[in-house]
Structure 1
Amino acid sequence: MTSKSLEPADDSTHDDALVLIVDDDAMLRSGLGNLFRSVGMRVALFASAAELLDYAMPDVPSCLVLDVRLRGPSGLDLQTRLAQMGVNIPIIFMTGYGDIAMTVAAMKAGAEDFLAKPIRDQDLLDAVSAALDKDRIRRLGMRQVEALRANYEALTPRETEVMTLAVSGLLNKQIASEIGISEVTVKIHRGQAMRKMRARTFADLVLMAQQLGICRQRL
């Protein structure tokens, strides 16, 4: 019988947040699961780092509540492995043996929080709620950049060239001179780029370019 447990997902709420809990103490692990369920959160429970690594994480806002000291690879080892895999969910560490060096190592590696056992329920709930909010914002930002990139890839080569030069600070007449077309044609391509990028103003277009990392530095 596996120690992994996941609340069944409702297809209509497939993006609901998920709290992942890794602790080798079965009683504590179960208690944490009950705590988060009591406030309406979905949970997945794991007894070891290996169990979590075998788990297919859903693409939803998530956070990881992780015991530092585990049988087998430690919580810090798991943190390192997740980073290597490109899994960027916020991590909240728990420990009954916390010390300054361990806390510093976890925080330097990007941990969201570090709580010493015994942990007050409200402190843990507050930390998890903040971590989930942070992951929601991160995921929203990623989706926005993906949408921008899709719009950018729909530009023609000439529209891409004109947009890149425009957002880098060149005037229409300078762009026309640099790429050998008329200023009127530059205006047409620039307007098409703004329309396809769904930019309401040129300032919006510049911001989009910055998000995509395509602004050139002009000497």
Structure 2
Amino acid sequence: MRAESENLDPQATVFVVDDDASVRNSLRWLLESMKLKVQTFESAEAFLAVARPDARGCLVLDVQMPGMSGPALFEECKRRHINLPTLFLSGHGDVPVVVDTIKGGAVDFLVKPSNNQVLLERVQQALNEDQASQDARQRETRLAQRLEALTTREREILEQVVAGRSNKEVGRALGISYKTVEAHRGRLMRKMGAASFAELLQMMLTRA
């Protein structure tokens, strides 16, 4: 797990929310022993006071807590667009409640007391999920910026090319010469950062 953790965003944090101080402390020790960044909170309200939509990492969340419960916090995070992959720690009697949260998008749940190795594996799964989501958002942002840099004519040609039309067909459709299409196509490929038509097509299909 340590090698996997080294590839994560350095800002990725495991946010632990549990009203039991002994649980918070043991989880901090366990996670920090794997070189993971950890922040602990004694209540849902304490977490919400500092949580931000751009937070990176994952949430390890107790189900039953004084004040706002774990599932209520999970829903509130979604409402606030704090989209951290969430792992629940539950008592045996909480299982039906947590099953509903899984259906609502939580990563998984573990019944207390949880096996340390299993917990670490689930945390790594959640961190990997967050990293993949962040990477996808960054790719989408870069693609949007590159598309914005295209001229109107280049965007028209891009649409035609992605639809599978040859340069000659594009020229006929747009009323321009084959050489003009070639020139525009070369410029748009450079602006899009695509080394080949296959790479360009993959970019656009991924966006769709």
* TM exceeding 0.5: yes
**1:46/1:52 contact within 8 Å kept:** yes
Equivalence map 1:57-96=2 (5 Å) = 57=52, 59=54, 61-96=56-91
1:52 is the counterpart of 2:56 = no
Number of the residue aligned with 2:20: 25
What secondary structure, in the 3-state scheme, does the structure 1 residue paired with 2:39 have? strand
- 1:200 Cα deviation from its structure 2 partner: 0.9
1:198 pairs with 166, 169, 193, which one?
A: 193
- 1:60 Cα deviation from its structure 2 partner: 6.2
2:102 pairs with 104, 107, 112, which one?
A: 107
In structure 2, distance between residues paired with 1:14 and 1:176: 45
What are structure 2's unaligned runs of at least 5 residues?
1-7
1:35 is the counterpart of 2:34 = no
Segments of 4+ moved more than 6 angstroms? none
**1:98/1:116 contact within 8 Å kept:** no
**1:25/1:47 contact within 8 Å kept:** yes
Residues 70, 143 of structure 1: alpha-carbon distance in 2 compared, 3 angstrom cutoff:
same
1:178 pairs with 173, 179, 186, which one?
A: 173
Number of the residue aligned with 1:157: 152
Sequence identity percentage? 40
What secondary structure, in the 3-state scheme, does the structure 2 residue paired with 1:114 have? strand
Residues 93, 106 of structure 1: alpha-carbon distance in 2 compared, 3 angstrom cutoff:
same
Residues 69, 99 of structure 1: alpha-carbon distance in 2 compared, 3 angstrom cutoff:
closer
1:212 is the counterpart of 2:207 = yes
For the aligned residue pairs, the C-alpha RMSD in angstroms reads 2.1
For each residue in 1:82-132, what CA deviation from the matched residue of structure 2 results, as whole angstroms up to 9, or x when unmatched? 122222221000111445532321111111111000112221111112211
Q: Give the alignment's TM-score, normalised by structure 1.
A: 0.83
- 1:172 Cα deviation from its structure 2 partner: 2.0
Equivalence map 1:116-195=2 (5 Å) = 116-195=111-190
- 1:59 Cα deviation from its structure 2 partner: 4.9
**1:22/1:65 contact within 8 Å kept:** yes
Number of the residue aligned with 1:3: none
What secondary structure, in the 3-state scheme, does the structure 1 residue paired with 2:68 have? coil
Aligned residues: 201
Q: Give the alignment's TM-score, normalised by structure 2.
A: 0.87
For each residue in 1:124-172, what CA deviation from the matched residue of structure 2 results, as whole angstroms up to 9, or x when unmatched? 1111122112222221222122222212211111111111221122222
In structure 2, distance between residues paired with 1:131 and 1:79: 15
Residues 101, 118 of structure 1: alpha-carbon distance in 2 compared, 3 angstrom cutoff:
same
In structure 2, distance between residues paired with 1:71 and 1:126: 28
What secondary structure, in the 3-state scheme, does the structure 2 residue paired with 1:101 have? helix
